[in-house]
Structure 1
Amino acid sequence: MQIVQHDARFASADQITPADLAAIADAGFRSIICNRPDGEGGPSQPASDDIRAAAEQLGLTFAYLPVTPGKIGADDVARFAQRLADLPSPVLAYCRTGNRATNLWQFAQASAVAAPVAASSPGTADEAQPWDVVVIGGGLAGISVTSSLLRRRRDLRIAIVEPSDTHDYQPAWTLVGGGAFDVKKTRRPMASVMPQGATWIRADAARVEPAQNLVRLTNGETVAYKQLIVAPGLRLAWERIAGLQETLGKNGVTSNYRYDLAPYTWELVQKMQSGTALFTQPAMPIKCAGAPQKAMYLACDHWMKRGVLPKVKVEFDLAGAVLFGVPTFVPPLMEYVKRYNAQLEFSSNLVAIDGPARKATFEVKDADGNVTRIDKRFDMIHVVPPQVAPDFIRESDLADAAGWCEVDHATLQHPRWPNVFSLGDVCSAPNAKTGAAARKQAVIVAENLLAARAHVEMRYRYDGYGSCPLTVEKGKVVLAEFGYGGKLLPTFPLDPTRPRRLMWFLKASVLPRFYWSGMLKGREWFTGASASDA
């Protein structure tokens, strides 16, 4: 059970059981509303009569107001509003996921006993009053842009579609894999980061229908919008490497791209005394393009300090042809490659892995484009999976030819659907997919969406800014900041190619605090966003 408090009188929750009621009563609730029809979930679903009996024994008032997913109508909203007026407060309403209860409350709050949208064509589901803005995604991009919007317009009715119960600070997972950060500090409950004033719809988006201004959810419900922000991130395609999923987290196979695996990376690094350590990087784009090599640098630094590096063969297999996409930063990175005696293998793409046999298979392309398969033995291997847009975006009318959500690279507005904007890893802008990019994009989208809403010129422009703190050793970072075309965009008046302890302090200490207390709260320090007449 997870309770989301909406105001002093009302909260919503997913399915509760009779065993939950004591805690609900202890939390101060006086009434329960069930919005889930009996029998909807089969035999495993507690009957409303059982919950009613247990609630009344604790002195809680119980009301049964079942609503069918995706079919909230005017009568449902009116009955719900009446229950809220009649029942002792605070009131807790529940359904399978909490979405129906939340929607009913939102419509009642807006005094919108609205008639459902008529089904004017096949596939158009019944839906109540559309949200002003629907945001798909509860990661950094989705939360920060929602916070930025609400700082500008508190009256906006915004819903965030996000299925996860937790929110992760992913940039620290590389540090976790290097023994420099506590993984538990990278995760918090999703409810704790939801912007006040926004409504959390806890479900997966299954399909976007921009012609009808609808988002269809995997639970069968639909969400109508006036404007849409697409920010679900990207999908880690582990399945594209044969045998990988079966061996992750064991047999020396790890990845800092997952919360539960980053600690295993550090475990392997600590145990390594000799042998072969492979580090891989798939074809671009990926989130944080420097992360694959950062895992290698931190491991090598640890082995060097322990005196075992000469006995470890280190190899970095890249699907691409360059170490880093911005040439300015390649020379300082190559100095560390030489220091650690790491072997670079370009145009070498991991395609299969046999964990028990400690064998990795790579497709290697030569200068003439010929591809051969090569098997390599390993004692440990750090794998970065291929990364793609979520399927519901790739298969929608929002996608470009590569499957990403298409946007104008400057305004971040969709070129064919003007009420749709996108930011973060899923958008098609050719910038580095980093949290720093999303932080700046949030301001651009917030300003331009409101301009579009007011039918005035969109004057804010995104310059492609992204940042990659390259942890070349424990205690030193090369802070790579750049925009479109590899243009350097340093925040500080310092040589950006020089490894610095100051930047390590920024990466390991300052940015995590700023993330939770600044970025997610819509604080736009150092965004550098400005209006343009272009």
Structure 2
Amino acid sequence: MATVRVVHRQPALWRQCHRTAAIGICHLHTSSSSHAPSKEHYKVLVLGGGSGGITMSARMKRMLGAENVAIVEPSEMHYYQPIWTLVGAGAKGVASSGRPTASVVPSGVKWVRSRVQEINPDTNTVRTGNGMEISYQYLIVALGLQLHYEKIKGLPEIEDWVKFKIGSNYSVQTVEKTWSALQNFKEGNAVFSFPNTPVKCAGAPQKIMYLTDAYLRKTGKRAKANVVYNTSLPVLFGVKKYADALWEIVKSRDIQVNLRQNLIEVRADKQEAVFENLDNPGETKVLEYEMLHVTPPMGPNPVVKGSLLADEAGWLDVNKETLQHNKYPNVFGIGDCTNLPTSKTAAAVAAQSSILDRTISKVLKNEKPDRKYDGYTSCPLVTNYNTVILAEFDYSGQPLETFPIDQSKERWTMYHMKADVMPHLYWHGLLKGFWGGPGPYRKIMHLGMK
């Protein structure tokens, strides 16, 4: 019997379903919210209603019929999280990022409005928080990852983030607080952190840094500001082509970048942030701040980590090319919960969904999967209120660009794509199971040579 790791209760601010944003929209659905113990069976059971879960529910409905598919998700709202970068900078409203989960669950698919309590792949069953036991023939795990704000000393005790000028673009409860801190900035250090853990959208912590720099210039406050980016990484960005371009931007805008620095404590009463030097453990540096943007440590979903499906680090253990589980052939994974060695983004989910759809269709026919996921992911690096560097790359960290231009250059066309085109593609393409990434278009644009 799989065990479940106990997660201690945190204040409401910290209790969230942490997962990647989802893409799609449908209207009619069936739901289950009864607390009476019951048993149900589905051909395909999907765990998680983020981008990966909703997308695969839509695809499985088309493949097998809605009556054969169920999805387990407790949240009443579904969020397109990539837009939170712009919400935190005041360029978009937070309301634009969310829609009721009821509107994105595919019509006819059974929606179990509860959290996943336990997964037992040996008996092909899942137990939910409302007492249901659901058996399955095939399981798709899309449970996302967990944010751990509580691992930063002093942060959970802070009741009023606005008062202490702290924000974080990584949760719906805190993203607008980033905009408040930015608006209330007077003079001093604007500090941005990147944790010593895997994170979703690894470019996001520096996107808000560039937008803060732009906002302070626009409002005449930049001369009295010191913009500081403290990252736990040994590089500014993982792909050299884009890192080189970002270093040029950092230098031209007089932004201070400190590598291998990890945020371990916030002293709100003094407006101080404490960072540990990862190259010399135990050595710390205290920075006073006028504004602090926190990127929290992140980790595996606790239900996945506490199950037989996890690898040694707690992530869902899947084949990196087919997304099929390495031990249980009737289990599949997608998105942030997996141990796929690529960046955790909604763009990665899109590309994975196309491959996983193909993998499952082959498995259903007792055939061998014949398409391979190359690790494609994308990170639109917002560098101003009207420019973006569109980073696209694969497992090897090599650029895998859609357009036949140099995407390491700042472009307003890519900003328009980030701010306006991608949200539409998410809600009406990805979540409905119609968008599987730009692969086919890349071939066309590069005349079949990529």
**TM-score, structure 2 length as denominator?**
0.88
Which secondary structure state, in structure 2, belongs to the residue aligned with residue 246 of structure 1? coil
Verify the 8 A CA contact 1:471 1:504 in the aligned structure 2: yes
Distance 2:113 2:270 in 1: 41
Q: Match for residue 193 of structure 1?
A: 104
Query: Which one-letter code corresponds to 2:247 in the other structure?
Result: M
Deviates more, 1:210-219 or 1:153-162: 153-162
Deviations, residues 227-261 of structure 1 (Å, cap 9, x unaligned):
00010110101111111122262311110111132
1:202 and 1:12, CA in 2 relative to 1: closer, same or farther beyond 3 A? closer
Question: How is 1:259-270 mapped onto 2 (pairs within 5 angstroms)?
Answer: 259-270=172-183
Alignment match, 2:297:
386
Match of 1:111 in 2: none
Paired position in structure 1 for 2:373:
462
- Give the match for residue 267 of structure 2: 354
Distance 1:155 1:139, change over 3 A: closer
- Residue-by-residue CA offset, 1:380-399 (whole Å, 9 max, x unaligned): 10000011111111111111
Question: What amino acid is aligned across from residue 241 of structure 1 in structure 2?
Answer: I
Q: Which string of whole-angstrom CA distances, capped at 9 and with x for unpartnered residues, describes residues 28-75 of structure 1?
A: xxxxxxx66xxxxxxxxxxxxxxxxxxxxxxxxxxxxxxx313xxxxx
TM-superposition CA deviations, 1:284-330 (whole Å, max 9, x none):
41000000000100000111122211210111111111110111101
Question: Does the C-alpha gap of structure 1 residues 257 and 518 become closer, same or farther in structure 2, counting only changes over 3 Å?
Answer: same
**Secondary structure of the equivalent of 1:371?**
coil
- Mapped to 2, the partners of 1:270 and 1:149 lie a distance apart of 45
| C-alpha distance in 2 between matches for 1:255 and 1:275 | 19
Q: Is the aligned partner of 1:221 residue 2:132?
A: yes
Q: Name the counterpart of 1:249.
A: 161
Residue in structure 1 matched with residue 386 of structure 2 by the alignment: 475
Cα distance per residue 1:107-162 (max 9 Å; x no partner): xxxxxxxxxxxxxxxxxxxx34x210111110011011111222333366111010
Q: 1:405/1:526 Cα in 2 relative to 1: closer, same or farther (>3 Å)?
A: closer
Aligned residue among 168, 172, 188 for 1:275: 188
Report the CA distance between 1:527 and its aligned residue. Answer: 4.1
One-letter amino acid of the structure 2 residue matched with residue 316 of structure 1: Y
Q: CA deviation at 1:370?
A: 4.1
Q: Please say if 1:373 is aligned against 2:341.
A: no
The answer as to 2:279 corresponding to 1:311 is no
| 1:57 alignment partner in structure 2 | none
Alpha carbons 1:440, 1:529 under 8 Å: kept: no
Verify: 1:507 aligned to 2:421, yes or no: no
Structure 1: tracts of 5 or more residues without a match: 15-34, 37-67, 71-126
SS at match of 1:188: strand
Q: 2:86 aligns with which of 152, 170, 175?
A: 175
- Deviation for aligned residue 1:267: 1.8
CA 1:501–1:527 in structure 2 vs 1: closer, same or farther (change >3 Å)? Answer: closer
Does residue 234 (structure 1) correspond to residue 145 (structure 2)? The answer is yes
**C-alpha distance after superposition, 1:178-203 (max 9, x if no partner):** 11111101011000000123111011
The 3 A distance-change label for structure 1 pair 426 and 157 is: same
- Picking from 42, 45, 49, the partner of 1:131 is 42
Distance 2:291 2:125 in 1: 46
Report the Cα distance in structure 2 between the residues aligned to 1:376 and 1:485, rounded to whole angstroms.
36
Aligned 8 A contact 1:411 1:462 in 2: yes
| Counterparts of 1:131 and 1:284, CA distance in 2 | 36
The Cα shift of 1:220 comes to 2.4
Which residue identity is paired with 1:520?
Answer: L
Question: What is the distance in 1 between the residues matched to 2:264 and 2:328?
Answer: 37
- Residue in structure 1 matched with residue 362 of structure 2 by the alignment: 451
Query: Residue 26 of structure 1 aligns with which residue?
Result: none
Q: 1:390 to 1:152 in 2, by over 3 A?
A: same
- Rounded Cα–Cα distance in structure 2 between residues aligned with 1:394 and 1:327: 32
Structure 1 position 507, deviation (Å) = 0.3
2:57 is aligned with 1:69: no
Higher RCO (C-alpha 8 Å, min separation 6): 2
Say whether the 8 Å CA contact 2:376–2:400 is kept in structure 1.
Answer: yes
Task: Give runs of ≥4 in structure 1 deviating > 3 Å.
Answer: 4-7, 11-14
Q: Is 1:491 aligned with 2:402?
A: yes
- Alignment of 1:286 onto 2:286: no
CA distance in structure 1 between the aligned counterparts of 2:126 and 2:66, rounded to whole angstroms: 22
Residue of structure 2 equivalent to 1:417? 328
User: CA shift at 1:271, angstroms?
Assistant: 2.0
State the one-letter code of the partner of 1:461: K
Alignment of 1:84-163 (within 5 A): 127-128=39-40, 130-154=41-65, 157-163=68-74
- CA distance in 1 between partners of 2:209 and 2:344 (Å): 20
Q: Answer whether contact 2:28 2:106 (CA < 8 A) is retained.
A: no
Say which SS state the counterpart of residue 444 (structure 1) adopts. Answer: helix
Letter in structure 1 aligned against 2:156: Q
Q: Structure 2 vs 1, CA of residues 470 and 164 (structure 1 numbering), >3 Å: closer, same or farther?
A: same
Q: Provide closer, same or farther for how the CA distance between residues 363 and 152 of structure 1 changes in structure 2, counting only shifts above 3 A.
A: same
Could you tell me which residue of structure 1 aligns to residue 308 of structure 2? 397
Residues 169-226 of structure 1 deviation map (CA, whole Å, 9 limit, x = unaligned): 1000000111111110101100000012311101111111000001111222211111
Aligned equivalents of 2:186 and 2:284: distance in 1?
A: 29
CA contact (8 A) 2:42 2:135 kept: yes
Q: Which residue of 2 aligns with 1:438?
A: 349
* TM-score after normalising by structure 1: 0.75
**Following the alignment from structure 1 to structure 2, what is the Cα–Cα distance between the partners of residues 272 and 155?**
51
Q: Which ranges of structure 2 fall in alignment gaps of 5 or more residues?
A: 1-25, 442-450
Identical aligned residues as a percent: 39
Q: Write the distance in 2 (CA, Å) between the matches of 1:132 and 1:255.
A: 39
Counterpart in 2 of 1:85? none
- Contact in 2 for aligned 1:444/1:529 (Cα 8 Å): no
d(CA) in 2 for partners of 1:303 and 1:240? 30
**Cα distance between partner residues in 2 of 1:442 and 1:529:** 14
Residues 12 and 168 of structure 1: CA distance in aligned 2, closer, same or farther (over 3 Å): closer
Tell me if 1:516 matches 2:435.
no
Partner in structure 2 of residue 330 of structure 1: 243
Q: Report the 3-state secondary structure (helix = DSSP H, G, I; strand = E; otherwise coil) of the residue aligned with 1:473.
A: coil
